[in-house]
Every structure is written in C-alpha cells, then in structure tokens.
Chain A
C-alpha cells in the first residue's frame, strides 16, 4: 500500500517533470500568440480572444513558409509512398521466401539503419553535382528513400515473418500469384505495422535537416525546417514571428502524433529492438 504522503510526492515529481518537458514548447506557443514584439511591426494583426493569431499569417508572408511547406509536403509524400511500398516488397522477400545470398543482403540492408546520414551526404553531394542533379527535388528525396528503406525492410520483414504461414500456404494452393498473396492476403491484416512505418517515415522526412541543407541552394526547394533555420538567421527584429514560424513547422507532425500516438511510441521504441 502506498501512503498518502508518498502518493502526493509522486504527483509532485511527475508534475515537475511534465512541466519541464512542456515548458520550452509552450513558451514558443505563447510567444507566437502574444503581441508582435518586432521593432518594425506595422500595427498588430488579427487577434481572437486576446490571442494574436495574425502572427501566423505575418510569419507566413515574411518567412515565406507557404513555399517551404509545399516543398516539405511534396518531399514527404514522395519519400513516404515510395519507401513504404518498396519496404513492403523487400520485407516480403526477406520475411517469407528463401534465396541465395539472403543473409548477406539482409545484413547489407541493416547497415543503413544505423548509418549516420553525415557520412554519406558529403560524397553524395559531389557525385550528384557532377551528374547535374544537385539542387533538385530528387537530390533531397532519393537519399531519404534509401535511409528509410533500410529501416522499413527490417520492420516489414519482422512483421511478415510473424504472420500466419497457414493463410499464405492456403492462398498458394488456391493458385494465387506471389504478387496477389502479398497485396491481398498479407498486407490487409498488417495495416497497423504499415501505419506505424508510415508515420515514422513521415516524421523523419518532415524533420530532416542535414540532407536538404546540403543538397538545396535555391529557395523554392527549401523544406520547412531548412526555411525556419534561414528565417532564424535573417529575421532579427523580434521573436514573435520566429516563434509563429516554429509553430507552423512543428504542427503537422505534432497533430499526427496526437492522433496516432501509439504508433509513434511503438515504432520509436521497437524500431531499435533487434530480434
């Protein structure tokens, strides 16, 4: 049994810790909703119930977040769709089939899970430059597909290995092709695993900083975090719009997190658990 005092102490510790975790995030949110503190603010924008929501449209204009969000959305959509589909296919091969060189190939893929993008970004930059591919959509998206596919293959393989062999055998006896077995028999029940993989790849891609920083020079190709970093360096007349821009950049992933929390937690925790 726990004494009353002990219970109270527990709540105090937990509340203090929750406050510590929330404080920097909330301070950004409050700064973004407060009155514009910049020296050159030409009157305050729209405010609702004392909250200066006009700051967001001001930041959107001044910081050009519209363009950055569009690039981020395009890159994320491409990376998520391509790497999830390719991971399902390669995970299927590793998880349910037997072939020569399987172990070697699997370990090759595993290298990519821990590979720091710092190590590959420099040679990639110079090779893509000589191919004339630098500062293109592909130079931002394809390296991230490669990084995501490593984890995705590992993730889907583990899932397909655990899925029922009996159903697959039954479908095979019915004469279903491997392609149909994958998409009509195996994938539908594995929706939770696919959703987890999707939200993780989306988060990683949306938040990625180094690859766009190196690969992109033209402003129209800047992703949201990169745009925020430049805005932070250039806009020095106040903190309000910087805070509003930060909220704009963070919000898409945070919304996904609030709705699909279990997938984020499960993926980030189990992702590192080797069999």
Chain B
C-alpha cells in the first residue's frame, strides 16, 4: 500500500467527495470500535451503571480457561480453514496447471460455488451430513464401519474437527482458484530451464512453482486465516459452542457474553482482542511475503 505520491493537483473539493462516506463510516465503524475499547474497560450488564474494571477483562482472556479455550479453538480452525486448503489447493492447482485438462472452466465454477452460498445454508447442509441418521454415518455404515458412527456435532472430541472440515470444504476452492491464477503466470521458460538442469517433477515444484506463487499464498493465507478467526454463523447454527464449550470460538463468545450472559465489558474485550489478533496476523503474513519477494 503506497500512498507516497498521490496523483492530481491539490484540491479542497476532495473533502466534499469524502464527506458522505466518511460520516457513515465514522458513525457506524470508527466510533463503535472506540466505544468497544471504552466498554472493555468496564464491568457492565447493559442496564445498570458500569463499574471500572481496568484491564481485568483482558486479563480474563488469558486467565479464564473458557475464554482461553475459545482462542485455542480458533487456532485449531486455522489449521482446517487455511493450512489444509493450502496443501490441497497447491496440489490441485499444480495438476491443473500442468495437464491441459478439459472442463477447467466448469471445475472452477464448481469449486468456487461454496464461497457464494450463504453460511446459514452451508450450516444447514452440513448439519444434515453430520446428523446421527445423516449422510456421513450412512456412508460409514455402507462401508461396514458402523463402529465409527456417532452424532458428530454432539461429540466432545469430534465436534470441533467436524466444524473445521466445513471450513476446509468452502475455502479450498477459493485457494485453488487463486493459486491457479498465479501459476498460469509462470513463464514456461522457467520450467524448461529447470528441466534442462535435470529437475524432476517434485524438485521442479519446490524450485520453480512454489517460489513463484509466494504472493498468492500470502493472499490465500490472509483471507482464510481471517475467515477462520471470525467463524460465527457456522458455530451458531451447528453447535452453539457445544457440547460443553468444545466448539466455542471468540466471535461466538462475543455474542454469547453480550446477549446471553450480559457481560458487555468482557464481550467488548474479546472483540477488541480479536481485532488486534486479526490485524497482527495479516500484517505478519504480508510482511513475510514481502521479505521473500525482495
């Protein structure tokens, strides 16, 4: 992001063009985030007068086991939302880029489709898959693996991975299409040179393909990591953080604490922390990509 040399001549009229957007943006985004910081420093139930809490709501995120777990769960989801799609996407894109397969357009349409379907609909569909009498158990039964069947979303061990797999499902298409666009821009000479050096397919992948799509990998990770950390709709519809708190995530805790437990200060502190974590992670990913590029 460079704003070093803005174009055009100096114009005060610019402020007039900015004004309407800025008024709404300031009133409904900048002011609320400031208020969130303020609220996070109080203990408030939403009705009576709040009491000063200092940083105790933030300290609780580290000290309170339930809250700490929510952030740990979000990190587990990062593996499912970001790392698994990246691994699968690299493989699929490498295949598609090399082989001149027919029906590439159709494939791209299909794998990207989960991105545009409302998350509530996605959640309804996957609840059906994971239900005790659902598709997954039916499949396991047909394979003679009845011992593995269970109510996946109600299982203390498997509920979080089950939610994670849904993330893998809808992010893989995005990552694949993104990487494919990057790989198609790699000049063929690079591959020829690698082949002349006697590089095999694997070595070629690590020596040519992977470094060339570093930028796309950074974008893919930024998008998917943020999506993982922000997971709300999916958890709200499928598990409501349960069973126990085995699928609680920061966004759900914000909602639950503010409107279920009337702990507004705590909810605001979680929201602010989540924002800071998201900014820090995307900054680090982009820093990493820039350093590799230079």
Contacts and interface: CB of A to CB of B under 8 A. Distances in A.
A95 interface: yes
Contacts of B119: 207, 209, 225
Interface stretch (B149-157, B188-196, B273-281): B273-281
Interface stretch (B54-62, B76-84, B250-258): B250-258
The interface residues of chain A, by DSSP majority, are classed as: helix
Contact of B15 (A14, A96, A99, A143): A99
Contacts of B106: 18
A124 interface: yes
In which size bucket is the chain B interface?
Answer: 35 or more
Interface string A186-224: 000000000000000001001101100110000000001
Contact of A115 (B1, B9, B33): B33
A96, A258, A275 pick with most chain B CB within 10 angstroms: A96
Nearest to B273: A119
B17 A120 contact: no
B21 A86 contact: yes
B210 interface: no
Given A22-B110, A118-B232, A120-B36, A274 B1 contact: yes
B92 A27 contact: no
A114 interface: yes
Contacts of A28: 121, 124-125, 128
Nearest to B34: A123
Contact of B3 (A11, A31, A103, A213): A103
A155 interface: no
A118 B114 contact: no
Contacts of A210: 232-233, 251, 255
A118 B28 contact: no
Contact of A124 (B14, B28, B88, B121): B28
A20 B169 contact: yes
A249 interface: yes
B254 to A, nearest CB: 5
Contacts of B36: 119-120, 122-123
B116 A203 contact: yes
A89 B15 CA distance: 10
Contacts of B7: 95-98, 161, 165
The interface residues of chain B, by DSSP majority, are classed as: helix
Contacts of A11: 101
B122 to A, nearest CB: 7
8 contacts: A10-B101, A28-B125, A89-B17, A89-B18, A97-B13, A127-B32, A178-B17, A265-B112
Interface of B: 1-3, 6-15, 17-18, 20-22, 24-25, 27-33, 35-36, 38-39, 46, 88, 92, 95-96, 98-101, 103, 106-122, 124-126, 128-129, 135, 169, 172-174, 177-178, 181, 215, 219, 222-223, 226, 229-230, 232-233, 236-237, 250-251, 254-255, 258-259, 264, 267-268, 271-272, 274-275, 278-279, 282, 286
Interface of A: 2, 6-7, 10-11, 13-14, 17-18, 20-22, 24-25, 27-28, 31, 82, 86-87, 89-90, 92-99, 102-103, 105-112, 114-116, 118-127, 142-143, 145-147, 149-150, 153, 161, 165, 178, 182, 203, 206-207, 209-210, 213-214, 224-226, 228-229, 232, 239, 242-243, 246, 249-250, 253-254, 256-258, 261, 264-265, 268-269, 272-275
